[in-house]
Amino acid sequence: MKKAEFTLSGFIIALIVIAMLATTYGLFMGGMSAEYGNAGANDTFDKYSAYTAELINATEDIRDDVNIEQDTGILDVIGGFFSKGYAVIRTAALSFNIFDNMLNDAAADIPYFAMFKTYLLAIIAIALFIGVLAAVLVKMRI
């Protein structure tokens, strides 16, 4: 088996190839920007800032609900963990309309996005449930 050798000519050739690829990519991006532009791209995301604030508040509520300070008895601890987990799932279910409203706005902005809305809602619901259940089980020390 022959050992790889690095030469100055190989380095220069690699540098030229990388420069050619970078130049081609830059010309492509310049052409796309000139053709399609990005005017008003930031305006479409302004309506989602309210949703972001609501999601942050819901996250803080869920984090507060997961903090468990119960008695030291084994049944009190287990019951406390699952009752707090239920409170978190209830909070997440009540805030689920935030995701629904955000997906409705995204479907209005992107026409082909509407057919994926149901799948995304299902993924979000499963992720919330599994995330809360995992947080409860991780904090439970028996």
The answer to whether residues 139 and 83 touch, using CB atoms and an 8 Å cutoff, is: no
Average pLDDT value for residue range 76-82: 65
Q: Is the dihedral of CA 54, 56, 57, 62 positive or negative?
A: positive
pLDDT at 41 over 60: no
Rg (CA), the chain: 26
Question: Domain map of the chain by residue range?
Answer: 50-139
Q: How confident is the model at residue 38 (pLDDT cuts 50, 70, 90)?
A: low
Kindly state the tokens that stand for 90.
């209830």
The whole model's pTM is what? 0.42
* Average pLDDT rounded to a whole number, residues 56-65: 75
Q: Which helix (H) or strand (E) holds 86?
A: helix 74-94
